[in-house]
A and B are shown apart, each in its own frame.
Chain A
């Protein structure tokens, strides 16, 4: 069973820059938590603080209630997988996996049993005798994963483990990692800059920006209700514009190009205030051009077939860039480039950020 990880008020300064600035984390036992953000947002530093590879300037870290802030990494009992695998080049796959067990001076039979088990878990039974340079990137990362799991850590830390791999292997390993995490009920902290990867694999995502936690939520929550401009821009595709709120017949609207779109009335939105409006491409529908006064009227500039969905780039008068509209491909089959369309967006699908 995985451990509970709690971090409170973590801070780490490099020179004049705050790499981590007051980060709180709480991962429940068996939970898969991703730290997501662009490079330099402090996600890797946070992970290194948890691992004990860096010392925080402020804040505390506890694992199952035990304060480990001042415990050196070798005594935290965690597993860690690095972006560049970090396999020991002088040891073959078997010995790499056995490393943690040998350090703990386990009996030979126990080491053999455990390594054989782990080689089977990562499907590398035939590669036990091969050295890191004789293994592909994907195989090296499997060995690194098995090595990190050898001592049965209650908490597994992964620092962009898939980013150096080809797309196909990345998907395969991601699925395997998730399956393994579920089976072992491991608590996992996973660092990535790839929002699609974080969405696919996590129970919860911690979005980070400039050393701070921006938003925490399930993939679904983050996708449906990004709480900040940053989260709205970072997660999934969206149409975003800086615009102003105007009251039309008592109802709040926003200007979008030359058109006005009604928005839901949630929270105080003083007329005239500048806001960022965002909506997902799949939230829009095409309506009959005649009876849609509040829709965006425009011309299809580009049709991109993406398999199950088809993406339209629609040029709207007065708007600087085309809006994106995702339709189920069967519903978009009859559309043609240059065609005039009316794009209707439900008011409650438009999110407004002050």
Chain B
């Protein structure tokens, strides 16, 4: 503060202007393409004018009227939901075990969770195809879900691990035991409420990742089980406005998920540190 106070008023104003310009440039850079896409998806014609000549919701109507796109959306949602369920079913018990009984295994879990993330999607998808689909003809959607689960492990792991680390779960469980609670009661009254926020943030992160993923969906789902992202890519070659509308829808979904995530994280932040260490 003292340093700022000594600066002449002119220099301070310059600093403010530079800051404002920089922020405006960044916002423009990020927002302009998005804004243009929204405008394009709503435009009747937009070739000779600065702004579209007219506006219509036709591209959105067409998207929702196309049964293939609707099926793509359904598939993406199914894959997302299944990924969440499998991921939670894998990560929550593993992390509970590590936190309650075997803390020394945590390093290994961390390492294992990061491995799929270190592999490029193409490599991972081809490896999965060679291992499961080519020799055993395992159902493609199932393999897709399992691959998404693998890729989303680091997110799942981090978010739930953070929730578990924020409370001294082991002592809480012991306290509940001495108070007469069996494992069912402990799960319901102690563990779940204390990791619910972590599970929710993990789920939102994974949902944002799985719902719009392209590379793995293209290689694993292929033409037989096209997801929303694949139709979105295809639409670019047939109708630019529909492609723009689908991009806006995809962005909208991710935005809603992100806002929900921020709201959840904010609420958890307010609850504050709960154990005085």
Contacts and interface: CB of A to CB of B under 8 A. Distances in A.
Interface stretch (B102-110, B246-254, B267-275): B267-275
Contacts of A157: 178
A74 B180 contact: yes
A82 interface: yes
Interface in A96-117: 99-100, 102-104
Contacts of B271: 89, 131, 133
Interface string A137-155: 1001000000110110000
Contacts of B175: 80, 82, 86-88
A103 B274 contact: no
Contacts of A131: 271, 274
Contacts of B179: 74, 99-100, 103, 147-148, 150-151
A330 interface: no
B168 A84 contact: yes
B194 A73 contact: no
Contact of B276 (A51, A52, A77, A137): A137
Contacts of A76: 178
A292 interface: no
A290 B185 CA distance: 77
Contacts of A100: 179-180
B177 A73 contact: yes
Interface residues of B, number: 25
A132 interface: yes
A72 interface: yes
B256 interface: no
A78 interface: yes
A319 to B, nearest CB: 44
Contacts of A164: 276
Contacts, number: 88
B67 interface: no
B249 to A, nearest CB: 37
A295 B130 CA distance: 93
A133 B178 contact: no
Given A84-B168, A140-B276, A99 B174 contact: no
Contacts of B93: none
A74 B182 CA distance: 6
A104 B275 CA distance: 26
B178 A53 contact: yes
Interface centre among A51, A52, A90, A140 (most CB of B within 10 A): A90
B176 interface: yes
A79 interface: yes
Contacts of A90: 190, 193-194
Contact of A72 (B177, B193, B272, B277): B177
Nearest to B175: A86
B172 A86 contact: yes
A94 interface: no
Contacts of A74: 177-182
A84 B277 contact: yes
B276 A85 contact: yes
B177 A133 contact: no
Interface of A: 51-53, 72-80, 82, 84-90, 99-100, 102-104, 131-133, 137, 140, 147-148, 150-151, 157, 164
The 7 closest A-B pairs by CB, nearest first: A89-B274, A90-B193, A86-B175, A80-B178, A100-B179, A73-B177, A86-B171
Interface of B: 167-168, 171-172, 174-182, 185, 189-190, 193-194, 271-277
Given A74-B180, A75-B180, A157-B178, 16 more contacts: A73-B174, A73-B177, A74-B179, A79-B178, A80-B178, A82-B174, A84-B171, A84-B276, A88-B175, A89-B194, A99-B189, A100-B179, A103-B189, A104-B180, A150-B179, A151-B179
16 contacts: A52-B177, A53-B174, A75-B180, A76-B178, A78-B178, A84-B277, A86-B168, A87-B175, A88-B172, A88-B175, A88-B194, A99-B189, A102-B189, A103-B180, A150-B179, A157-B178
